[in-house]
Structure 1
Amino acid sequence: MSTSIKRRFSKTLTRPKNQPLITSDIKGNPSKDPIVSPSQGVPPPEDLKCHTFEDISSLTESFLDFESQDLMSTTKNLAHELRSKLKEYKSSNQEHLKKKYKVHQKVKSCRNEFEVMKNSIGEVLFEAKKTKEELRSMREKIEGESFKECDAIPCYEPQSQVIEQIYSLKNSIDFMNHRLTLTERELEAKSYENEKLKKSLYKIKESIVEKTSLETEESHVNCQVCVII
């Protein structure tokens, strides 16, 4: 860049061969300022008096040095700012990866707990079904015994003993019916609790899935930093 400026100024300061440097309209009057023709290709005399080729070269070089220093300073500031921004992006990306790992660990632990609860609920339902079937068979047996036909053989026992046996049998039947009713109510309560537990587990699963999807979207946004790096 400085070489082209030097060539331009050297071309300007070089006058054609066999051509006077300065011409004057009035001969013999040196006190008057000479007039320079534009076709001579030289700058005005005032510029020639004030600035020489060395002055112009030094000014040009100093200007170029100042411009290069300014450019280097700007480049250095931009590089420093870029490094700081990249450092911030890297730290934020590391924090995001740590949070994502924690969320994955939490989801894994919740999934294990969910599997344990699911297995326990299955066992409870199996036991409840088994108990219900046993109670049903007991009720059928009791009802079958209560409606069992009596033998035609006459009883020689006293009437009071027969009545006592009938009352005791009736009391035992009532007790068993009451027990069956309580058991059915307990089974209904357990079934209701199981339904509530299923709903709560479903809500927990939905919240975990929603949180995982939100973390995944944030990771896609922050991963653009990795592409920049």
Structure 2
Amino acid sequence: MLKIVVLISGTGSNLRALLEALRSARTNETPILAEVVAIGTDRDDANLALAEEFGIPHFVVRPKDFADRTSWGDALLAEIQRYEPDLTILSGFMRLVPPAVVEALSPNLVNTHPAYLPEFPGAHAVRDAIEAGVSETGASIIVVDNGVDTGPIIERRRIPVEPGDDEASLHERIKIVERELLIGTVTRVATGDLNLKECERA
């Protein structure tokens, strides 16, 4: 069984999709051999009601409670490692994790991103795509490294920018694909079809 810790900073909509897919798969003849064993966040206002709803342990590690980024990262890593995950997912986690966390968890540390990387890295990828006036953007799943969305790409998919799209409408369509890529990645890792060590840089 693939044990997963997921880190969120907001509503956790991608996480909900993953949890529902895993729950649904339990009733199928070919279940996904994976389980979210903990949900973590860096913010008090993140949607930890998901953890309550699905009966999953959760933790909060607030940067403001620590003297610096390094000590916050050490505490975050300690919480993650308590659950001995095989895979850690940053799903809408809006903070760069320190190098020590990346070193300890990589390559089994992945991130979802609402753009076709290496296009539009960073926290405002959807807005940047709209402002650039491009005809298409995308969604990506990557292995986390110490850069800003620069890690090896696991999978990515193109998404057209429709006439009249604004940031909100485009982001909603991107999220649909992000969820599909995330569930697919977890399934492939769980079955052994995907070795994260073999992912290549773009």
Q: TM-score range by the shorter chain?
A: under 0.3
> Would you tell me which structure has more strand in proportion to its own residues?
2
> Would you tell me which structure has more helix in proportion to its own residues?
1
In the superposition, the TM-score normalised over structure 1's length comes to: 0.18
